[in-house]
Amino acid sequence: MLRVYFQGEQNNLEIQDLIEIGIIVAPQGLQGELKVKTDSDFPERFQKSGNRWLQIQPHQSPQPIELIRGKQIPGKNIFIIKLAGVNDRNQAESLRGSRLLIEKSHRPYLEKEEYHVVDLINLQVYNQQTGENIGIITEVFSAGNDILEVTLHYQPELQPDIIPDLEKISRVSKRKKFKVKKPKAITILIPFVKDIVPVINLEKGFIEINPPKGLLNLDLAEESE
């Protein structure tokens, strides 16, 4: 069975040896604890004390920081953690949106047919039946079996929302609030199972799919944000 392990990765050369494991989403309580949202399948990254890295702003270099303790909220991909030097709610609030990282050398070993999400994102997707390059993997979801979201290279002609005659909108405030929505890219969802994804070539940057009838039906495709 194919298995995905969720984690993020930064592309900035300044932090090329680090991988993202979670994002601080909110303070927790009054003593400086933090809520961290993660897609990682390795809870020990938040429960085992030791050195981590913190990137407060995207343009800033990550700084080492000590994880003192952490625990998972049951049934959710949310951990409550305590970092050294963060002792009150104001300090915790200032870290909202910061990224928590670890060194790539700490990346867990995976067995055959197990993959990290970061290795799958941006892989080209080929239809094994036709040889056509149909799209690129842009997201991976965990829902029983893991699901690959593929943004199609060929985008059907998308019609933008109809623009009303602004002269007929009497209130100036409503005119100012009106925005034309941009068409969204069309994606398809592919179950990440061996029968449907028989070839994964990380070295060359592609996968091959053997889609069952109806899987590539654009009528079932979704509009991506």
**pLDDT at residue 33, rounded to an integer:** 97
Q: Which of 39-53, 98-112, 125-139, 209-223 has the least mean pLDDT?
A: 209-223
Confidence check: pLDDT of 10 > 50:
no
pTM for this prediction:
0.53
Average pLDDT (47-62) is 90
Please give the mean pLDDT across all residues of the chain.
81
Confidence check: pLDDT of 170 > 70:
no
CATH number among 2.40.30.60, 3.20.20.10, 3.40.50.12780, 3.40.30.10, domain 3-106:
2.40.30.60
**pLDDT at residue 34, rounded to an integer:** 97
Q: Strand 222-224 vs strand 3-5: parallel, antiparallel, or unpaired?
A: unpaired
**pLDDT at residue 214, rounded to an integer:** 83
Domain segments of the chain: what residues?
Answer: 3-106, 121-224
Confidence check: pLDDT of 161 > 70:
no
**pLDDT at residue 97, rounded to an integer:** 95
Q: Locate tokens 């915790």: which residue?
A: 92
Residue 214: partners with Cβ closer than 8 Å, 6 or more residues away: 220
Digit-coded pLDDT (tens) for 89-110:
999 999 999 999 988 766 666 7
Confidence check: pLDDT of 175 > 70:
no
